[in-house]
């Protein structure tokens, strides 16, 4: 099932439940969670912002290709834009996964009490 989401004015088409997509999504999310906080060093704020933006750009690039990532972010390193795009995308994917769990939960056996 194809999903469509507008992120920073750019339409992204993807299948949340495609095995390759979800694998890349989970790997990319792990990488971001592990590295984004390390990029937040106040003593090197400018470089830290650029590194954080590059990390998020790489996440979208891995999922959608470099051209689509470039369309989303352009040439500017505005961390708020990057983080908002990331948050919107992750929230959407997580909502779809939650819905799927609810749907499949209807067909799972209920354990005896």
In a domain, 29, yes or no: yes
In a domain, 83, yes or no: yes
- pLDDT-derived band at 43 (thresholds 50, 70, 90) equals low
Share the mean pLDDT of the chain. 87
pLDDT tens-digit profile of 44-87? 667 788 888 999 999 999 999 999 999 999 998 898 999 999 99
- Count: domains in the chain: 1
The pLDDT score that the predictor gives to residue 107 is 78
In a domain, 110, yes or no: no
State yes or no: pLDDT of 109 exceeds 80. no
pTM of this structure: 0.83
47, 70 contact by CB (below 8 A): no
The pLDDT score that the predictor gives to residue 103 is 80
The pLDDT score that the predictor gives to residue 56 is 95
In a domain, 37, yes or no: yes
Residue of 99, 106, 61 lying closest to 82 (CA atoms): 61
Burial class of residue 36, CB neighbours in 10 A (0-12, 13-18, 19+): middle
For residue 41, give its domain range. 3-14+25-105
Average pLDDT on 6-19 reads: 93
The set of long-range contacts for 47-56, using a CB threshold of 8 Å and a minimum separation of 24, is: 49/77, 49/79, 50/77, 52/79, 52/82, 52/83, 53/77, 53/78, 53/79, 53/82, 55/31, 56/32, 56/82, 56/83, 56/85, 56/86
In a domain, 34, yes or no: yes
């Amino acid at each position: 099932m194809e999903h469509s989401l507008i992120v920073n004015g750019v339409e992204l088409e993807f299948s949340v439940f495609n095995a390759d997509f979800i694998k890349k999504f989970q790997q990319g999310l792990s990488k971001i969670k592990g590295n984004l906080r390390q990029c937040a060093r106040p003593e090197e704020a400018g470089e830290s912002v650029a590194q954080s933006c590059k990390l998020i750009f790489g996440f979208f690039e891995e999922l959608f290709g470099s051209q689509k990532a470039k369309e989303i972010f352009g040439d500017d390193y505005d961390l708020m834009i990057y983080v908002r795009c990331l948050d919107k995308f992750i929230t959407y994917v997580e909502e779809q996964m939650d819905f799927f769990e609810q749907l499949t939960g209807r067909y799972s056996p209920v354990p005896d009490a």
